[in-house]
Amino acid sequence: MATRTRKSAPERKSEIIVAALRLAAEIGPDRLTTEALAREVGISQAGIFRHFPTKADIWDAVAEHIGKMLREKAAANKNIAGLPVDQLRKFVCGHLGFLETTPAIPAILFSRELHASNDKLRAFFAGLIASRQRHFAKLIQAEIDAGRFKAGLSADDAAYLILALIQGLAMRWSLNARSFDLVEEGRRLLELQLAGFAVTA
């Protein structure tokens, strides 16, 4: 009989967080139980609660993990070259690529039950969306100032439209069992949106 390797507390916590993300993508966050999580990790439920006293603590740790991944991705893309509109394209497509490789995020984002019972998780996603909106608005305003986007365009409103495009597309992708290329469809729809912002000759 094989002996099980004892893992350190940080290793085990990380394993639980990754398993929670995987299961949230497979069965949905609202159906995720500590029993299913324990089976996935290969420990007892008591073992889960030794690391995370409540289920809310698990979701808080998942949110922190997602935030860390997004910060690392943002840092890697910090010095994207090109016009602001090109930076916007790269950022949106990069974000959609991240969602494609981390499909639990749309499931968590659209989980009404989870948000209703976890203020911290809801605040995390609200803060994330606000941060994205500010970044998009800054790039759009730069295009307005350069005369490439319409002078009467509101950078804030345009940024919200792009966020709505991302969120709506992520929901459609999730509801359609991830049956299409999220990045390619996002690129196509984004170009339609940007064409509406642009100054016509």
Nearest to 36 by CA among 47, 25, 15, 20: 20
Query: Which residues in the chain land under pLDDT 70?
Result: 1-5, 76-79, 113, 201
What pLDDT shows up at residue 96?
94
Nearest to 51 by CA among 98, 92, 10: 10
Q: What angle do CA 192, 75, 191 make, to 5 degrees?
A: 5
Residue 71 CB neighbours (<10 A): 10
Q: How far apart are CA 39 and CA 19, in angstroms?
A: 10
What pLDDT shows up at residue 58?
92
Cα–Cα distances in angstroms (integers) from residue 149 to residues 64, 99, 152, 158, 196, in the given order: 36, 28, 9, 11, 9
Q: How far apart are CA 34 and CA 184, in angstroms?
A: 36
What pLDDT shows up at residue 3?
39
What pLDDT shows up at residue 2?
38
Predicted TM-score (pTM) of this structure = 0.83
What pLDDT shows up at residue 5?
61
Cα–Cα distances in angstroms (integers) from residue 4 to residues 7, 49, 102, in the given order: 9, 19, 29
Region label for 147, one of left (φ > 0), alpha (ψ between -120 and 50) or beta (otherwise): left
